[in-house]
Structures are given as structure tokens and as C-alpha cells.
Amino acid sequence: MRRSGVRITFTRAVPPRAVRSVAGMALTSASRRSSGAGPVPDATPDDTDRVLLDVLLHDGRATLQELAAATGLSTSATSVRVRKLVERGVIAGFHARVDRAVLGRPVEALAQVQVRADADLTALEGALAGSAAVVSAWQVTGEYDYAVHLACRSLPDVEAELRHLRAQPGVLRTSAQLLLHRVPSWSGVA
């Protein structure tokens, strides 16, 4: 299957229909829901949904059979529940976690960007989206206007990215911190 430039291949010793990947099933459902309507207002998951979400947060490639075993539901009922979680917008997608160091980008930094009040944010966001070093970016509150996660090949590449950010029209200043160690994050469902 191909989604967002990432190829994900599932290999199993059983016929493909015997063990369905939840990721494949839900992405198919999500592609049908691409009308842009957004999440359903009451998307609050119940206890069974929370079990499904906890399992999927720890293993996004869990099969319907594994999810059914965790919840005590049938595979069919589990499939319906996961599909509804996708349709309601509770599950926004399934993603691969990659090791950026293995991909040749071992130096990570968090940059803050402050812009003028009259800055063209669309142009800045386009520049952020067009940079291979930008992992993610958020518009934030506080002294700075954007927080930008960078993954670079070296410290000179971080410096070059910061110079590139400062050169964007409307950018007043930047600040950055190198990311030293990733703290394991809580990934459960409240």
C-alpha cells in the first residue's frame, strides 16, 4: 500500500484475507472519508474504544484478531469499532516511526521563530513545508510564533537551516536548542 510517499508492506505466512491489517483497513476507510467534513462532534471513546486505541498506539500494525483478543469482541465487531473510530476522526491515521539518525539526520533541534505582526504566514509556512530538514512545525502562543522541529545531517546544517529561516520575509528572530535525548512519552489514552 502507498500513503504519503511511504511504502508499507505486510508479510504474513497466512493468506492476505485471513489476517487483515488494521492500518490497511482504516486507511481505506479514511480515504473514503476524504470529503473534508472533519471529525464528528461527539467522538468521545468508550472503555472498549480506549482498549483498542491503547493497543494501536503501541502497535499500529496490530491485526484485527489481536485487537479482538484484547477487547473480547469478535473480529467483525472489532473491525466495525475501528472503522467508526476512523470515521469519527478519533484515529487520524497510522504512521511509521523512523530513526532519523539511521536516515542520515542524527542532529535534531527545536527552533522558535518570531515574526512581525504583518508577516505573510502563508509564505513562511510554505518555506517550512518545503524544507527537507523540517520534521514538523506548529504555530504557538507566547514570545515566539512558531516551534519548528529540525532533523539535520550536522551542526553546520542546523546553522544553515536557521539562516534560511531568518531570511524568510517577516521573520524577526529565531532561537534554537539542540535535542540531546528523547524522553519516552506516555502514549496511552486517558
Within a domain: residue 190?
no
Are residues 114 and 60 part of one domain? Answer: no
How many Cα atoms within 13 Å fall on the side-chain side of residue 97? Answer: 5
The yes-or-no verdict on residue 33 having pLDDT over 50 is no
Check if the beta carbon of residue 133 is closer than 8 Å to that of residue 152: yes
User: In 3-state terms, what secondary structure has residue 29?
Assistant: helix
DSSP 8-state code for residue 173: E
Within a domain: residue 95?
no
Within a domain: residue 92?
no
Are residues 72 and 24 part of one domain? Answer: yes
User: Residue range 26-44: average pLDDT?
Assistant: 51
Q: What are the grid coordinates assigned to 82, written together? A: 475501528
pLDDT tens for residues 47-71? 999 999 999 988 889 999 999 999 9
pTM value is 0.69
Within a domain: residue 96?
no
DSSP 8-state code for residue 177: E
The yes-or-no verdict on residue 34 having pLDDT over 60 is no
Q: Which residues contact 29 (CB under 8 A, 6 or more apart)?
A: 83, 86, 87
Most confident region among 8-22, 37-51, 111-125 by mean pLDDT: 111-125
The yes-or-no verdict on residue 134 having pLDDT over 70 is yes
Q: How high does pLDDT run on average in the chain? A: 82
> Structural domain tally of the chain?
2
Instruction: Quickly state the pLDDT bin for 185 (edges 50, 70, 90).
Output: confident
- How many helices (H) and strands (E) the chain has is answered by 6, 6
Give the per-residue pLDDT at 94: 84
Over pLDDT 70: what percentage of the chain? 75
Residue with grid cell 515574526, as numbered in its chain: 115
Are residues 82 and 17 part of one domain? Answer: yes
What range does the domain containing 142 cover?
107-179
User: Residue range 64-79: average pLDDT?
Assistant: 96
pLDDT tens for residues 80-128? 999 999 999 999 988 888 899 999 999 999 999 999 999 999 999 999 9
Give the per-residue pLDDT at 62: 94
Within a domain: residue 186?
no
Q: What are the grid coordinates assigned to 126, written together? A: 510554505
Within a domain: residue 102?
no
User: Residue range 68-75: average pLDDT?
Assistant: 96
Are residues 126 and 62 part of one domain? Answer: no
